[in-house]
């Protein structure tokens, strides 16, 4: 056990009931503060959410006419991220959507595409000699009609070329759709929602744009991230066990998405995203454990190096695993100590936390062990535990 974590555990174990009760009150008050909970009414937040989804639906419906072959025709959009999960901190100013493409959503998709899971470095050598850091997939196009439709994006060995979803293309599709839709304004009971003049951009695998909510009290700029994806069922995956963590076998019953992998990968590589399962699992948390998650998210987010080391999907996985064995309903302090302890265990195996943490959401299930830098994580954990807010809550006495 790392010394700073053991120190925190010792503090926890030595506290009397009065001190523990006082700390839990401080934690709850922190959660109820304006920083973590929006001052807007639940009714207005719900109206913002439904208005945003309505606007995004209108924008993505314009994707169909971009280009000549309706490559980007949309079957449906899926609300994901913290707003969909009910774990958002502060105002509803960021929304995330998976955009499921219609051309890849046929009833006979299993006969049209072959999904080939890549589980080892040897199965997918890059032209640059770069090791793949996570399990991913290649998509082989089998259907003759689909081969003709996407002929400009089919490699010689019949694999789909991920440049179909290149960052430049994603941005261009959004610019086209927003331009087509024009200055659209949705008027609702609590305010209006409109598209801003801020140009669309790129945010990792997402195309990004900004909406403006105008209420009686203030303006709220809302960032929207949309990720175009291919939906596949588990039946299309050759080796389910190789990509599904044993701890969460229920994932086998869910569909997942394939997104283009990062730029250092070759043009065949797509990564798995069990995003809908992620949303459902987080929504299933008790209100109590959602508070624990928001508090931890706030603590981690207060230090840049800590937040980069413990990305949200790792924190979600740790909290979900904690919640499955925890029956606590009032002792936030005990839960936070346990969550930090579990986070510390992921630090003992590699130079990035997600090297060791085989996450529920499979965004970074590593297939190789990189050289371990054991000096960095004690420092990061110490940064987390000795943040000003934690020192105030957990006095070192």
Are 303 and 385 contacting, i.e. CB atoms less than 8 angstroms apart?
Answer: no
> For 2, left (φ over 0), alpha (ψ -120 to 50), or beta?
beta
Interatomic CA distance for residues 302 and 314, integer angstroms: 17
Burial of residue 143, with CB atoms counted within 10 A of its CB: 0-12 exposed, 13-18 middle, 19 or more buried: middle
Residue 238 sits in the same domain as residue 362: no
Indicate if 294 and 260 belong to the same structural domain.
Answer: no
CA–CA separation, 241 and 248 (whole Å): 11
Question: Please, what is the Cα angle at 229 between 106 and 178, to 5 degrees?
Answer: 105
Count of the separate structural domains present in the chain: 2
Say if CB 368 and CB 255 are below 8 A apart: no
Model-wide pTM > 0.85: no
Q: Closest Cα partner for 77 from 276, 244, 268, 218?
A: 276
| Together in a domain, 196 and 293 | no
134 in Cβ contact with 367 (< 8 Å): yes
Q: Which two tokens stand for residue 28?
A: 């709850």
Q: Please report, for the domain that includes residue 98, its CATH number.
A: 3.30.460.90
pLDDT at 249 exceeding the cut of 60: no
Q: Are strands 74-80 and 94-101 parallel, antiparallel or unpaired?
A: antiparallel
Asked if residue 290 and residue 150 are part of one domain, the reply reads: no
On whether both 227 and 124 belong to a single domain, the answer is yes
Q: Residues 144-163: what's their mean pLDDT?
A: 89
Whether 9 and 75 map to the same domain: the answer is no
- Of 225, 255, 284, the one marking the end of a domain is 284
Identify whether the C-beta of residue 338 lies closer than 8 Å to the C-beta of residue 321: no
Separation of alpha carbons 245 and 381, rounded Å: 26
pLDDT level of residue 126 (50, 70, 90 thresholds):
low
271 pLDDT exceeds 60? Answer: yes
The boundaries of the domain holding residue 14 are 3-33+286-393
**Is residue 156 located within the same domain as residue 199?**
yes
Assess whether 44 and 158 both reside in one domain: yes
User: 301 and 236 share a domain?
Assistant: no
Buried b (16+ CB within 10 A) or exposed e, 172-198: ebbbbbbeeeeeeebeeebbebebeee
Question: What are the angstrom distances between the C-alpha of 139 and each of 151, 161, 162, 203, 231?
Answer: 14, 9, 9, 24, 12
Return the SS3 of 250: helix
The pLDDT of residue 186 is 94
Predicted pLDDT of residue 123? 62
pLDDT for residue 98:
94
Least confident of 176-185, 239-248, 316-325, 376-385: 239-248
Strands 256-260 and 219-232: what pairing? antiparallel
Q: State the alpha helices, DSSP H only, in the chain.
A: 3-14, 17-32, 42-60, 81-85, 109-112, 144-149, 167-181, 240-243, 275-283, 287-301, 304-309, 312-325, 332-345, 353-356, 376-385, 388-393
pLDDT for 313 equals 75
| Strand 136-141, strand 270-273: pairing | antiparallel
Last residue within a domain, chosen from 252, 284, 316: 284
Task: Tell me, letter by letter, the H, E, C secondary structure of 159-205.
Answer: EECHHHHCHHHHHHHHHHHHHHHCCCEEECCCEEEEECCCCCEEECC
Residue 202's beta-bridge partner residues? 207
Has residue 122 got a pLDDT over 90?
no
Q: Helix or strand or coil: residue 261?
A: coil
Per-residue pLDDT for 373 more than 90? no
What's the start-to-end Cα distance of the chain, in Å? 21
Gap between the Cα atoms of 256 and 233, Å rounded? 6
For residues 176 and 200, membership in a common domain is answered with yes
- Do 275 and 296 belong to one domain? no
Distance (Å, whole) CA 58 – CA 49: 14
Identify whether residues 252 and 298 lie together within a single domain. Answer: no
What tens digit of pLDDT does each residue of 201-248 get? 988 788 999 999 999 878 999 999 999 999 887 666 554 444 444 434
What are the C-alpha distances in Å from 112 to residues 51, 69, 104, 142, 202?
A: 36, 18, 9, 5, 30
Domain boundary among 258, 284, 310: 284
């Amino acid at each position: 056990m790392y010394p700073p974590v053991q120190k925190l555990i010792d503090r926890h174990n030595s506290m009397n009931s009065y001190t523990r009760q006082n700390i839990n009150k401080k934690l709850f008050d922190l959660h109820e503060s304006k920083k973590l909970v929006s001052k807007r009414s639940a009714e207005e937040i719900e109206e913002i959410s439904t208005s945003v989804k309505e606007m995004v639906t209108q924008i993505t419906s314009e994707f169909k006419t971009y280009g000549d072959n309706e490559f980007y025709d949309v079957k449906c959009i899926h609300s994901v991220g913290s707003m969909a999960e009910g774990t958002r901190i502060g105002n509803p100013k960021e929304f995330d959507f998976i955009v499921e493409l219609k051309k890849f959503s046929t009833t006979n998709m299993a006969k049209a595409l072959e999904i080939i899971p890549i589980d080892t470095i040897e199965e997918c050598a890059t032209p640059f000699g770069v090791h793949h850091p996570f399990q991913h997939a290649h998509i082989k196009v089998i259907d003759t009609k689909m081969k003709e439709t996407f002929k400009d994006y089919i490699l010689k060995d019949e694999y789909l070329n991920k440049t179909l979803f290149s960052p430049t293309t994603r941005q261009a599709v959004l610019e086209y759709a927003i331009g087509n839709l024009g200055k659209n304004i949705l008027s609702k009971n609590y305010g209006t929602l409109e598209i801003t003049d801020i140009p669309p951009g790129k945010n990792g695998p997402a195309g990004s744009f900004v909406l403006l909510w105008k209420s009686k009290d203030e303006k709220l700029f809302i960032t929207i991230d949309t990720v175009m994806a291919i939906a596949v069922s588990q039946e299309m995956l050759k080796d389910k066990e190789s990509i599904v963590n044993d701890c969460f076998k229920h994932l086998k019953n869910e569909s997942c998405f394939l997104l283009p992998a990062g730029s250092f990968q070759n043009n065949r590589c797509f990564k798995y995203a069990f995003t809908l399962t992620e949303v459902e699992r987080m929504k299933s948390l008790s209100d109590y454990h959602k508070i624990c998650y928001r508090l931890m998210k706030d603590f981690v987010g207060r230090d840049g190096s800590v937040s980069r080391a413990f990305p949200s999907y790792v924190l979600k996985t740790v909290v979900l695993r904690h919640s499955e064995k925890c029956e606590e309903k009032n002792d936030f302090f005990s839960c936070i100590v346990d969550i930090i302890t579990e986070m510390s265990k992921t630090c003992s195996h590699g130079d990035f936390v997600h090297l060791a943490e085989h996450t529920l959401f499979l965004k970074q299930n590593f297939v190789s062990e990189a050289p371990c830098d054991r000096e960095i994580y004690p420092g990061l954990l110490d940064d987390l535990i000795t943040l000003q807010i934690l020192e105030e809550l957990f006095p070192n006495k």
